[in-house]
Every structure is written in C-alpha cells, then in structure tokens.
Structure 1
Amino acid sequence: LTVQYKISNLQDFVLNVDMPEVSLQHATDSAVRHVVGSTEMDQVLTEGRELMASEVKDRLQRFLDTYRTGINVTQVNLQSAAAPREVQEAFDDVIRAREDEQREKNQAETYANGVVPEARGQAQRLIEDASGYRDEVVSRATGEADRFTALVAEYRKAPEVTRERLYLDTMQELMSNTSKVLVTGDKGQNNLLYLPLDKMIDGRSSAGASAISGAGAGELGARVGSDSRQIELRTRESR
C-alpha cells in the first residue's frame, strides 16, 4: 500500500519525533495488521479493499496524533493483496469454486430468462385460445337456440309445410355426401332400388365429381323420389 501525507505541524515533526517517517512506517504496519486481522480474508483479497483503506487511514491518523508527529495522512491506497504462500493453493481452490458458482448462477439466470417468458407466452396463448373457443361455443349455442325458437314459431303456424321442408333439407344434406342412393316404395312394400351414382359419374374429374355429389345429388334424389312409383311398377312388370 502507499500512504500520502503532509506536515501539518513542523515543530512537532522536527522536535517531538526522532525519525518521523520511520514512525509513520511502523504506525502504518500496526494499523494494517489490526484492520486485516479483524477482516475476513475474502474481503481483504477481493472486494473489500476500499473499505480497508479507509479504516487503515483513520486508525493510522489516530496513532500519529497520539505520537504528536505533526503528520496529517491525506490518502491511503491499497494497491494489491495476496494470500500467504502456505495457503495460496487452498485459496486458489476457493477462488475457482467461487467462479464456478458465479458461472452456474449466470447460466441459471440465462436459462430462466429464456424459459420463463416462453412459458408465460404459452400460458397466455392457451388462455386466449380457451377464451376464443368459449366465445365460439356460446355464440354457436345462442344461434342454434335462436334458430330453434324461430323454427318452433314457424312450425306452429304451418306444421305440415315445416315438417316437409325439414325432411327435404335433411335428405339433401345427407345425399350430398354420398355416391349411392337407395330408393324404396310406399310403406309396407319391400321393393328396393339401388342407384350406383359412383358408376354414373365415373370418368369425370374429381372437381366435377365433387360438384355433382354436392350440388346435383339432392336434385337427383328428389327427382328419383318423385318417380319412385313408376320405377316400382316397371320392376313389378319385369318380374
């Protein structure tokens, strides 16, 4: 360490002390030993140097004032510190362990900073998806309930017409998704006619086939239904 000082009292500096600079050196050694002896080794060798320098300065000034050396200490600089050679190897192990600890801590913090925001984002996305699904289900259920209420009102006005319309709409929806149609006669009869619509539309493109099965199947089914009596009579004549 280094000690910066100035002579505050020339008379005391010349007459009271035989060798004031030697007294300053001895007082400095005593102050340093006292401060180092009451401070943990980690603080001495690492981050506690500034505080130690301040404590050494205060204690050294008290010693010099007691001796009446006429010296005023202005600055104490602790330049370097090292462990004794007998324990240097052990202390190096401690330093390496501390560095490993800090490195592991930094890695953990980095990992947490990457994982936690991602987990929060996923949680927020799930919440938003759930909210959207809830709103969709509620809206669809509300619409179905409103449609059913309106349908009930129309059914009460004209039961037969409403029933017939519901039947035709249902049959059209079913036949739009199939390439085969089964046509039966009146109630109590076992006549059954199978129309292989998939063979009838064979050779067309998939787009054309989709258009026929989606848009034309309902119309064809209705036309076949209207002529079912004629088909049944022809079947009986052939037998």
Structure 2
Amino acid sequence: AKNEAQAYANDVIPRAVGSASRLKEEADAYKARIVAQAQGDAQRFKSVLAEYQKAPQVTRDRMYVDTMQQIYSNVTKVLVDSRSGSNLLYLPLDKIMQQTQSGADASAAAPAPSTTVVPPVSSTSDSRSRDATRSRERETR
C-alpha cells in the first residue's frame, strides 16, 4: 500500500507542478498584454488630448466622422429619420452595392463611382458609445 501511495504521489505531483507552472505563465502573459494595452490606450488618449487642446471643434468633428465611418462600414441598411416631418428614408445599402457591383461588372473598363452615405452632423456627442465598445471588448476576453 505504501508503494502504491508513493507511485501515485510520483505521478500526481509532477503533473500538478506542471499545471501550476503553465497557469502562472498564462497569467503573466495576460498581465503583460493587459498592461501593454492600457499603456497604448493612455498614450492614444494623450495624443488625442493634445490635438483637442489645439483645436477642440475640429477634433470633435473628426472623431465623430471616424466613428460614423466605422459604424456604417458594417451596416447593410440605414433608416434616416427626417426631423421636419414624419417621412422615414430607407436605404438598402446591400442592394445598392449589388447594383453597383453588377454595373461595374458590365462595364469593366469604366470605373464605377462609389456610393457614400453621410449622416447628418449632430452637435451633441454621445460619450457612452466609446465606453460601450470598450466594455464589449472586455467581455469577449
């Protein structure tokens, strides 16, 4: 019985030590990745802050346009609400892009003009959108 216990200990202890070592290495790698990402985010914020201090309105507008480009690059349909009336404009971008591509295939020699949808510029900025995407990034880890 003593030999069986010794054999069991000789089998289990090295595996446990190896598993603990692997977990420690993974934790250290995760820590390094998170610290590097936080430092990068802080540096990016400092550079945006410097730009903002030089020209606040230009920086706000640029950030808004960049965000809208990022959002609309992943969208296939857009609904535009008219503030003056109750008309609702529906833009099926997926169908428009298909028509543009089929037109480009038919006239391969002539380049097709690209369709760009520009949303109405709003003077109010939503600070929650950046926080929401950051929290979504953290949830996926």
TM-score between both structures, scaled by the size of structure 2 = 0.63
Match of 1:169 among 61, 66, 70: 66
d(CA) in 1 for partners of 2:57, 2:85? 24
The CA deviation at 1:123 is 0.8
What SS is found at the alignment partner of 1:161?
Answer: helix
Task: Note the residue ranges of structure 1 that are not aligned, 5 or more in a row.
Answer: 1-103, 204-218, 229-239
Gaps of at least 5 residues in structure 2 are 100-113, 121-141
Which residue identity does 1:135 align to in structure 2? A
The 3 A distance-change label for structure 1 pair 129 and 188 is: farther
The 5 Å alignment of 1:189-200 reads 190-200=86-96
Of 117, 129, 133, the residue aligned with 1:224 is 117
TM-score by length of 1: 0.39
Over alpha carbons, which structure has the higher Rg? 1
Q: Residues 182 and 194 of structure 1 are in contact (CA less than 8 Å); yes or no, is this contact kept in structure 2?
A: yes
Matches within 5 A, 1:14-29: none
Shift of 1:145: 1.0
Residue identity matched to 2:36: S
Report the equivalent of 1:142.
39
Deviation at 1:188, TM superposition (A): 5.2
Q: Which structure shows the bigger proportion of residues in helix conformation?
A: 1
Larger RCO, structures 1/2 (Cα 8 Å, 6+ apart): 1
**C-alpha displacement of 1:202:** 5.9
Amino acid at match of 2:39: T
Does structure 2 retain, via aligned residues, the 8 Å contact 1:183–1:225?
no
CA RMSD of aligned residues (A): 2.6
- 2:57 corresponds to 1:160: yes
The corresponding residue for 2:27 is 130
Shift of 1:126: 1.0
Q: What SS is found at the alignment partner of 2:90?
A: strand
C-alpha displacement of 1:197:
2.4
**Change in CA separation of 1:125 and 1:189 when aligned onto 2, cut-off 3 Å:** farther
Match of 2:89, SS? strand
Please give the per-residue CA displacement for 1:74-125, whole angstroms capped at 9, x wherever unaligned. Answer: xxxxxxxxxxxxxxxxxxxxxxxxxxxxxx2222222211111111111111
The whole-number CA distance in structure 2 between the counterparts of 1:192 and 1:145 is 41
